[in-house]
Chains A and B, each alone.
Chain A
Amino acid sequence: MRPLILTLLLTLLLGGCGYNDFQSLDEQSTAAWSEVQNQYQRRADLVPNLVATVKAEAKFEQDTLTQVIEARSRATAIQVTPETLKDPQAFERYQQAQAQLGGALSKLLAVSEAYPDLKSNQSFRDLRVQLEGTENRITVARNRYIQAVQAYNVKARSFPTNITARVFGYAPKPAFTASGDAQSGVAPKVDFGNPNPQPAR
């Protein structure tokens, strides 16, 4: 009788082990993460041009500018690779650094409203549009990462696929949490000088 039970058990495990799902879900969440990083990198690449443009405005608030420069260097100093993605603390640090840069940028743009010369400067306006587009892409990429990780984590935590996860070392992954943001998946709202900005979701 015992071999029969074993046989039956093997059959059941074979049906629901989800090994292949882990392959694709792991891959998907990693790819979604690289997209998030790409977009953050793109934002970081825009900052020097923005800073240079703003510096041309001689009377500009130096504090705000310094904050942006420092936040950018802090944000670019932290790199989260797919390996360290498994470390919630490192992930949290990365997220905070990026959120600080986002906050510093939106403050800079808010302050720039008081400088008519700067506002009418074409290259500053272009940079603002590009920055806005980048923030949108960051939001989309973050949402996709959250969804990919959700699908992966559900597999990694629910029975019976959690057994497979344990055997093959697919630990649950950290996702963005609502710290400093209005809600997870919403990048810090960059205020482009609307008199009555829509609250971010």
Chain B
Amino acid sequence: MPLAFFVSFSKLSRPVRAWLAAAALLLMALFAPGLAQAQKLQPIPAPAMHVTDNTNTFDARQKSALEARLVNFEQATGSQVAILMVQTTAPEDIAAYANRVGNTWKIGRRAIGDGLVIIVAKRDRKVRIEVAKALEGAVPDLAAKEVIDEAITPAFRAGDYVGGLSNALDRLETRIRAEALPSPTPPAPDAAQASIDGDDALAGRNPNGFQWYDLAVFLFIAVPLLGGVLRRLLGRGFGSVLAAAIVGGLAFLFTWSVPAAGVAAVLAWVLAMLSWSGLSSRPGMRGLPGVIAGSGFGNVLGGSSRGSSSGGGGFRSGGGGDFGGGGASGDW
């Protein structure tokens, strides 16, 4: 880093310098480039139920019968099987679309990942059984193909969609039951919903990838430094308060929780009030101490993603399935 560039910084007036310092720190913290990818692909419907029919193929009775069946299966085994009927998957082929559905819905239990989706693209006359990695042993590609060829295709050709899907489910459920997966557990509170300002805030890591370790490093190394700088620039009282405010603001940005931000701000204020004479810059101070070098503070800006839970005893994603392209496709 060319330090000469920053020398002119010291020629500025005091409040301007302080403001610049604070602004620079905030900018640094906000430096998290996002990758927005514009895609013109078919949208993936929100999974409100185990059976999602966007084609009006089923009447209400058929749909609720299929739904009840899949709910019972999930309650009995824990494994999640979902059915999605769409008109078309263009421009993607059904395999790519099915893979996106599986990974978006996250079907299957979180720790086990036992999910399976049957996708029917009615206008394309294509069907696919998409199998999560955890079930690729229970339903290998050849077995999925067999189910399509023997259970689904003949019935679909005759226009009997419900019959074909029921036959397919008979075979698939038998295979999944034979897999000796762990028993279902009573539904636990969705971890993705857990805000980190609860009592379990010190669990180390929340789903957004925020690490308390980072905050700790930040608080105990950066804050005294910042506090020292601000105190030298602005005097003890105001400098400490400003440091506390900056830290509180940052903490709020990272955690989106007011209590955590408050705690951080108070801690920062205390730390900044304590005397810290600043580092003396020795020429030849090369390596940083390990803990400073090792504090990646960029990954704490995860958007807080709250999963949308559906009311009315509908489908709740188990948050598990990793779909790696297993399964089989067919047409009729």
What is the interface of chain A, defined by CB distance below 8 A to chain B? 1-24, 35, 126, 129-130, 132-133, 136-141, 150-151, 154-155, 158-161, 163, 194, 198-201
Q: Within 8 Å of chain A (Cβ to Cβ): is B314? A: no
Contact in complex: B228, A6 (CB < 8 Å): no
Q: Please give, as numbers and ranges, the residues of chain B lying within 8 Å of A160 by CB-CB distance.
A: 28, 31
Within 8 A of A (CB), among B201-224: 214, 217-218, 221-222
Q: Please give, as numbers and ranges, the residues of chain B lying within 8 Å of A163 by CB-CB distance.
A: 1
A-B contact pairs, 21 of them (CB 8 A): A2-B281, A4-B10, A5-B3, A5-B9, A9-B1, A10-B292, A11-B25, A12-B25, A14-B218, A14-B297, A15-B218, A16-B28, A16-B31, A18-B297, A19-B294, A133-B141, A133-B327, A136-B325, A139-B96, A139-B325, A198-B93
- Report Cα–Cα, A201/B90, bound state, in Å: 9
Contact in complex: B327, A7 (CB < 8 Å): no
- Report Cα–Cα, A23/B296, bound state, in Å: 9
Q: Please give, as numbers and ranges, the residues of chain A lying within 8 Å of B29 by CB-CB distance.
A: 15-16
In the complex, what's the smallest C-beta–C-beta distance from A125 to chain B, in angstroms? 9
- Report Cα–Cα, A22/B141, bound state, in Å: 36
Q: Within 8 Å of chain A (Cβ to Cβ): is B329? A: yes
In the complex, what's the smallest C-beta–C-beta distance from B223 to chain A, in angstroms? 9
Within 8 A of A (CB), among B261-309: 278-281, 288, 292-299
In the complex, what's the smallest C-beta–C-beta distance from A177 to chain B, in angstroms? 17
- Report Cα–Cα, A5/B21, bound state, in Å: 10
Closest-by-CB residue of A relative to B214 is A20
Q: Within 8 Å of chain A (Cβ to Cβ): is B68? A: no
Contact in complex: A15, B297 (CB < 8 Å): yes
Query: A2-B10, A4-B278, A6-B281 given as contacts; is B325 within 8 A of A12 (CB)?
Result: no
Within 8 A of A (CB), among B134-167: 141-142, 145
Closest-by-CB residue of B relative to A155 is B298
What is the interface of chain B, defined by CB distance below 8 A to chain A? 1, 3, 6-7, 9-10, 21, 24-25, 28-29, 31, 33, 35, 90-96, 99, 124, 141-142, 145, 214, 217-218, 221-222, 225-226, 228-229, 232-233, 278-281, 288, 292-299, 323-329, 331
Q: Which of A14, A35, A137 contacts B221 (CB 8 A)?
A: A14
Q: Which of B90, B226, B294, B328 contacts A11 (CB 8 A)?
A: B226
Contact in complex: A129, B141 (CB < 8 Å): yes
- Report Cα–Cα, A15/B3, bound state, in Å: 18
Contact in complex: A201, B296 (CB < 8 Å): no
Q: Please give, as numbers and ranges, the residues of chain A lying within 8 Å of B35 by CB-CB distance.
A: 150-151, 154
Contact in complex: B1, A137 (CB < 8 Å): no
Contact in complex: A21, B281 (CB < 8 Å): no
Beyond A2-B281, A14-B218, A139-B96, list 18 extra A-B contacts (CB 8 Å): A1-B10, A6-B3, A10-B279, A11-B226, A13-B1, A14-B292, A15-B25, A17-B296, A19-B296, A136-B325, A136-B327, A154-B33, A158-B31, A160-B28, A160-B31, A163-B1, A201-B91, A201-B92
The 10 closest A-B pairs by CB, nearest first: A20-B296, A133-B141, A136-B325, A140-B325, A137-B325, A18-B298, A1-B10, A6-B281, A16-B28, A129-B145
- Report Cα–Cα, A183/B95, bound state, in Å: 16
- Report Cα–Cα, A11/B250, bound state, in Å: 14
Contact in complex: A5, B10 (CB < 8 Å): yes
Q: Please give, as numbers and ranges, the residues of chain B lying within 8 Å of A18 by CB-CB distance.
A: 296-299
Contact in complex: A17, B297 (CB < 8 Å): yes
Closest-by-CB residue of B relative to A167 is B293
Q: Please give, as numbers and ranges, the residues of chain A lying within 8 Å of B293 by CB-CB distance.
A: 17, 19
Contact in complex: A136, B99 (CB < 8 Å): yes
Contact in complex: B91, A19 (CB < 8 Å): no
Closest-by-CB residue of A relative to B34 is A154
